[in-house]
Amino acid sequence: MLDPLSLIRLNDEVVDDASLQGRDLIIALDGHADAGHVLRQVRGTLLDELDARLVATFDADQLINYRERRPQITFLGDHFTAYQRPRIELYALTDGLGTPFLLLTGPEPDLQWDRFAAAVVRLSMALNVRLAASFNGVPMPVPHTRRLGVTVYGNRPDLAEGVTTWNPTAEVPASAAHLIELELAQRGRDVVGFTLHVPHYLGDAEYPQVAVAALEHLGAAMGLGLPTDRLREAGRSVGEQIESQVAGSPEIQRMVSKFEQRFDEHVPQQERRSLLLGADEQLPDGDDLGHAIEAYLSGRRADDD
C-alpha cells in the first residue's frame, strides 16, 4: 500500500492549533445509503450555519473514478466555466454552544479504501479524536406517520440503549465510513453510527425530517447543540405536501395504512430514551424543575446586584 499520509494536505494556518486536539468527529461521506438525502442536508446545514475552518484536504484525484461519477461543469453559451472538483475535506467547527468538533465530508472514495481509511485513522489519532460518529439513511417499509426508527451500532452500548429500534444480523454492502470506524475501534477509539429508517416511498426525495433526526442523534451522542430550525421549517412544508398527496389518493392511503399496521405489530413498543438525557439520567419531575428555576433566578438576581 502506498503511503497513506501522502493523500493528506494539511492547512498550515490551523494544523498547529492546540484546540484541535481531543475533539469528536462526524463522518459524512456521501455516495452510500443516502435515503432522504440525509447526508447532503446535514452537511449543508453544518457548513452553512456554523463557523468552519478547513483543517485538511485529501487527494481526490487518486480516490475518485471520474468516468463512473463525472464532476459537473457549467456551460455558458459558448464556453465552459466553474468546474466542480470533487473535494474530500476535514473541517473544524464550533456548535451554537461553543463546543468544538470535527467534520469529515465529501464524496465517498471509489478507489483505495484501505489507504484512505488508514490516512483518516492516522490523522484522527494525531488529533486525539475521542468519538467518531457516522450516519446514513436507508429505505424501509415504514410509514411516515410514525417516529423515525434508527439502528445504532458501534462500541458504545450506552449510546444505543433506549435509542436503537432495530438491530438485525445481516450481510450488508460496506462503506468507507464503516472501514474507518472498524479501524478506529481496533485502535481503542470510541465509535458510533446511526442508520435512520426512511419510508421507502420518500427515499429518493429530500426529506428534512430524517436530517433533523440525524442531527438530534449526533448532538445527543457528542453533547453538541446542532442547528435544526431551518430543517424543521422545511420539514413542516414537506409534511403538508405529503399529507395532501395522501389525502388525494385512496391507493396511497391503503399503502400507508398497511405500513402503519405492520409497524405497530412488529416494532417493539418500548419506551425510548429522550435524546436530551444520558443513558443513566432520569427526566426531572416538577419539584426538581422548580428548584432548578429558583436557583437560576436567585443567581441572576445576585449577578444583577
In DSSP notation, the chain reads: ---GGGGEEE-TTTTT-GGGTT--EEEEEESSSBGGGHHHHHHHHHHHHSEEEEEEEE-GGGT--TTTSPPP-EE-SSSEE------EEEEEEE-TTS-EEEEEEEEPPSS-HHHHHHHHHHHHHHTT--EEEEEEEEEES--TTSPPPEEEEES-HHHHTTT------------HHHHHHHHHHHTT-EEEEEEEEEEGGGTTS--HHHHHHHHHHHHHHHT-----HHHHHHHHHHHHHHHHHHHT-HHHHHHHHHHHHHHHHHS--PPPPPTTS-TT-----HHHHHHHHHHHHHHHHHHH-
In this structure, how many other beta carbons lie within 10 angstroms of the beta carbon of residue 279? Answer: 13
- The chain-wide mean pLDDT, for the chain, equals 90
pLDDT surpassing 60 at residue 23: yes
Using DSSP bridges, classify how beta strands 190-199 and 131-140 pair: parallel, antiparallel or unpaired: parallel
In this predicted structure, what is the pLDDT of residue 283? 47
Q: How does pLDDT run across 60-78, given as a tens digit for each residue?
A: 999 999 999 999 999 999 9
* Between residues 209 and 267, the one the model is more confident about: 209
195 and 135 in contact (C-beta within 8 Å)? yes
Nearest to 191 by CA among 270, 108, 117: 117
Question: How do strand 8-10 and strand 25-30 relate by DSSP bridges?
Answer: unpaired
Q: Which of 131, 270, 159 is nearest to 216 (CA)?
A: 159
Confidence band, pLDDT 50/70/90 cuts, at residue 156: very high
Residue 296 reports pLDDT greater than 70 = no
Stretch 254-263: mean pLDDT = 93
The reported pLDDT for the residue numbered 5 is 95
For the residues 218-233, what does the mean pLDDT come to? 96
* pTM across the whole model: 0.86
- Pair 208, 191: CB distance under 8 Å: no
| Percent over 70 (pLDDT), the chain | 87
Nearest to 121 by CA among 179, 184, 61: 184
> What is the rounded CA–CA span in Å between residue 89 and residue 60?
9
Confidence at residue 140, expressed as pLDDT on a 0 to 100 scale: 93
Mean pLDDT of the region 232-261: 94
pLDDT mean over 40-45: 96
Task: Taking residues 193-222, report their average pLDDT.
Answer: 96
